[in-house]
Amino acid sequence: MYKHSVELDVGKCTGCTTCIRHCPTEAIRIRDGRAVINEDRCIDCGECIRVCPSNAKKAMCSKMEHYSHYKWKIALPAPSLYGQFANLTDVETILQGLLDIGFDDVFEVARAAELVTECTRLYLKSEGIKKPVISSACPVVVRLISLRYPYLRDNIMPILPPIEIAAMMARKKAKEEHPELKDEDIGLFFISPCAAKVSYIRNGFGSYKSKIDVVVSMKDIYFKLLGAMKKGEQPTVSPTAGMIGIGWASSGGESSAILNDNYLAADGIENINKVLDAIENGNIPQLEFIELNACTGGCVGGVMTIENPFIARTRLQSVRRYLPVSLNRLPSDIHYVPENFYCSELPTYMPISRLSENFSESMRMMSRIQEIKKELPGIDCGACGSPSCRAFAEDLVRGAVKDITACKMYGTKKTQESDSDNQGEI
């Protein structure tokens, strides 16, 4: 079972139905007055966290303080962190701030992002790959494909996301510089913009297990970090990544860096679905690479960021301005993607929306759903606790709801002719 990181504070949930209508995979129901998330369908996009008016949904993250047993704590900041501070023109101040709040070293994820960019360019030149190649960096997208677009699974770039490569490099660096450290002494702390990365790190990628030890939320360390930065300690560290690596924080950064015109970048789940449906139908011709970010604006729009994504993007521009284009390259004698950058196995297709394992039974159930739907008012009010009348009919047929009278509007109005349903549903 996929382990998620979106958590409900039952005491705060009022059963208001806001989340069930915003969930892009219809994974939430209201049962007994409280939201219940279907783990099989959840893609960790964080939409419910964003829309909940009672702040009852949270992303589960670790607190730095609970991990004091690590002798050597390394912070791995996602580049989106650099867009969170006003009037900041250099990266050093943030890196120094991280050291000042208790980390022993900092390793910028943007460094690894620059290497992944290089690998992407190499990968795109390899023979026999399925194009367009889809970025594997946003875990929501990878999960969405495994649930909804099985045909596009082989288009996912089989290269590990920057956080994993950063983790490998950071550990190696620590051991080289401090040979006295044992593996268990080193703690790799990813500073994450989103809940999806938390889930990804827990679950891995196919059979691949993540190399990150602890995930800390950007929100959680923000004030502490801001305080440390305000002290204005003279930075003892210099930036280790350039414009390309930091550019990964916002939508379009990853794809524009592959220096190829045939790419597309889309952000927001609804847009992503449109793009993936179009690729599946073969009507986006001649594209080499597709960058998809679940969050509006890219990772700067992650649920654990502080700043509005558009402001963060502008801020990133000023942080990036005086940096070299790129500071990280593969060794010059390497003209292929290094073996340890590949992920051995992509996530497999999970037919979660299948009604039954037996085809004839699925047909019968579907036919019952169609009949019940005709009896329902078709106004998708959500008062029954299901996100739409169609979903309610399915919940009844699946036995998750016992009685049609759970529909508060039952018998009021009859519409619904076309077999269309909500946009986002899987």
Partner 1 sequence: MSECLTFHYDVDGEDFTSAGQASVQVKKNLRRLGIPPEIIRQVSIAMYEGEINMVIHAGGGNADVIVYEDRIEIILADKGPGIKDVALAMQEGYSTAPDSVRSLGFGAGMGLPNMKRYTDEMTIDTVVGEGTTIKMVVKLR
Nearer to ligand SF4, 49 or 295 (CB): 295
Q: Which residues, 6+ apart, have CB-to-CB distance to 293 below 8 Å?
A: 137, 138, 141, 251, 265, 266, 267, 299, 301
Pick the binder of partner 1 from 283, 331, 339, 399 (CB under 8 A). 283
Stretch of 56-64, 229-237, 330-338, 355-363 contacting partner 1, by CB under 8 A: 355-363
The least CB distance from residue 95 to ligand SF4, in Å, is 21
The least CB distance from residue 95 to partner 1, in Å, is 45
Instruction: Tell me if 322 contacts partner 1 by CB under 8 A.
Output: no
Instruction: Tell me if 354 contacts partner 1 by CB under 8 A.
Output: yes
> Which listed option, partner 1, ligand SF4, none, makes contact with residue 417 (CB within 5 to 8 Å by class)?
partner 1
Scanning residues 124 to 163, which ones bind partner 1 (CB under 8 A)? 148, 150-151
> Which listed option, partner 1, ligand SF4, none, makes contact with residue 294 (CB within 5 to 8 Å by class)?
ligand SF4
> Which listed option, partner 1, ligand SF4, none, makes contact with residue 193 (CB within 5 to 8 Å by class)?
ligand SF4
The site for ligand SF4 (CB under 6 A) is made up of 138-140, 193-194, 196-197, 293-295, 298-299, 302
Pick the binder of partner 1 from 104, 185, 280, 288 (CB under 8 A). 280
266 backbone dihedrals φ, ψ, rounded to 5°: -130, 145
> Which listed option, ligand SF4, partner 1, none, makes contact with residue 310 (CB within 5 to 8 Å by class)?
none
Instruction: Tell me if 419 contacts partner 1 by CB under 8 A.
Output: yes
Site string for partner 1, 383-412 (x = CB under 8 A): -----------x------------------
The least CB distance from residue 260 to ligand SF4, in Å, is 21
What length is written for the chain? 426
The least CB distance from residue 363 to partner 1, in Å, is 6
Nearer to ligand SF4, 82 or 392 (CB): 82
Q: Give the C-alpha separation, 94 to 33, whole Å.
A: 44
> Which listed option, partner 1, ligand SF4, none, makes contact with residue 293 (CB within 5 to 8 Å by class)?
ligand SF4
- Quick one: tokens of 7? 């958590």
Stretch of 73-81, 219-227, 324-332, 415-423 contacting partner 1, by CB under 8 A: 415-423
Nearer to ligand SF4, 138 or 323 (CB): 138
Q: By the criterion CB under 8 A, which residues form the site for partner 1?
A: 148, 150-151, 277-278, 280-283, 285, 349, 351, 353-357, 359-360, 362-363, 366-367, 370, 394, 417-421, 425-426
